[in-house]
Every structure is written in structure tokens, then in C-alpha cells.
Amino acid sequence: MPLEALLWDVDGTIAETERDGHRPAFNAAFAEAGLPWHWDVDTYGRLLAISGGHERISAFLTAVEGVAPDPERVQALQRRKQQHYRRLLGEGRVELRPGVVRLMRQAAAAGLAQAIVTTSGREAVAALMEAQLPEAVSLLPVWICGGDVTRKKPDPEAYQLACERLRVAPGRSLALEDSVNGLRAACGAGLTCLISRSAFSAAEPAQAFAKAAAVVDHLGEAEHPNRIERGPTCVQGQITLSYLQSLLDPA
């Protein structure tokens, strides 16, 4: 069946935002508030099992303080974190991953529908796109963000909503993800999923991504070819539309 839509995760898939943006932004917000916490890479990697920044702060505070935090306190920390995140983006601390823009443009030129499907808030997504991908509105007209759903990944709700808004069948759509939660959400909605491992999912065992149609280290560029961990051979060293079509029509 023909491929009709690409659905893009953001954090870790489009850019290494978790490592280079969100984590240092959280730490800056903690320091500014006089809190004695610093999320190192390993700590933050474990916290990524919790989807959503607001939820992540709340769970962490509950764990370290032994009681559920005041929602207003969590919201205040999240607001300051978002301001620091926007500042880091403006300073060029976060860049798009290899092959992302190339594949988005190829898909748009071929007439495929495209959407963002993320647990991040709309403000954070807009900040990244303004800093790194000004053409995002034309390339990715539909954004399903954390505030648009009642249940975040790994629940499939976000992908189901994206397919509904794009008016495409899940079976003719492909999700690009980097995490186990994202894979579970995409597969739960009936989509084929390609995993592009990120800094935080690089150490995940291969079995964690057993339901993915293919697993790669990144999408690839001519001058920066990718490596296929699992899936069909990619002779160009780049994920292309024909490659993605082959994932929908396995031999």
C-alpha cells in the first residue's frame, strides 16, 4: 500500500533536545530557584521514562521530598524551564539531527502529509522550529502536542489524533521515533515505526525496539551516512521515501 503520511516525534528524533536543551534548562531553573538539584545525563535518562516535563518535575519532587508537590510550584518551575529552553535554542545549543530536513522536504515535494506528534508542549515545539526550522509550518502543518491529548505516550492517543486530523489511515502512515515510549504509542495506533536512536536511547537493548520496522543511528546525509542496526539495507546511507515505502511493504 502506498505511503501517505510521515508522523514525526520531536525530542530526540528531530533534534537532541533532551540532552542539549531540556536537561540544562531544567538545571538552570533549579539553580535559579535555589534548589540543590542537578540532573546529570544518567539521572535525566532515567527520568525520560516519564513522559512530559510537568509530569517529570512532579514525579521527581514526590520522590525526593516524599509528598506530592504543590501544582503551582511545579508550574512555576516548568515556566522558568521553558524560558531557559528558549534561551538555549536562541544561543544555538540545539541542532537538527542529520537527514531530518532533507527527508521532510522530500516528503513535502512528493505530496505526503506530515505532522508532529510529541509529548512536549506547543511552546517548546514552536521555540525549536523558530530557531532551527522556520519552514516548519509549511512542511508540518499539523502539530499534536502534549496539551492536545489526555494521555501522553506510550498511550497511542496522540498518533490516533494525528491520523484523524491528517485524514490518513494508520496503515498507510509511518512514525519516526527515538524511544521505547514512542514506539509503543505508534504501534498501538497501528502505524509502522522507524527508530532513529538518540543520545538517550542509544544504550537501549535491541530487544526494546523489536516491534520497529527498522532501527538506525540517524536518518543520514550524503556526507554523513547512517548505520542500519536492523531492517532493509540502505545502500545510499540515507533514509529515503523509497526506503520508508519498503517498510510498509516488506517482502
How many of the other CB atoms lie within 10 Å of CB of 213?
A: 21
Catalytic, 249? Answer no
Active-site residue among 11, 42, 148, 217?
11
Query: What are the grid coordinates assigned to 40, written together?
Result: 546529570
User: Is 114 within 8 Å of 6 (Cβ atoms)?
Assistant: yes
Pairing assessment for the beta strands 113-117 and 5-8 based on DSSP bridges: parallel
As a whole number of angstroms, the distance between CA 249 and CA 152 comes to: 29
| Alpha helices per DSSP H over the chain | 17, 23-32, 41-47, 53-65, 71-90, 100-109, 122-132, 136-139, 157-166, 180-188, 241-248
Catalytic, 9? Answer yes
Instruction: Output Rg (C-alpha) for the chain, integer angstroms.
Output: 18
As a whole number of angstroms, the distance between CA 200 and CA 191 comes to: 23
DSSP 112: -
Active-site residue among 9, 42, 70, 217?
9
As a whole number of angstroms, the distance between CA 48 and CA 58 comes to: 13
Active site residues: 9, 11
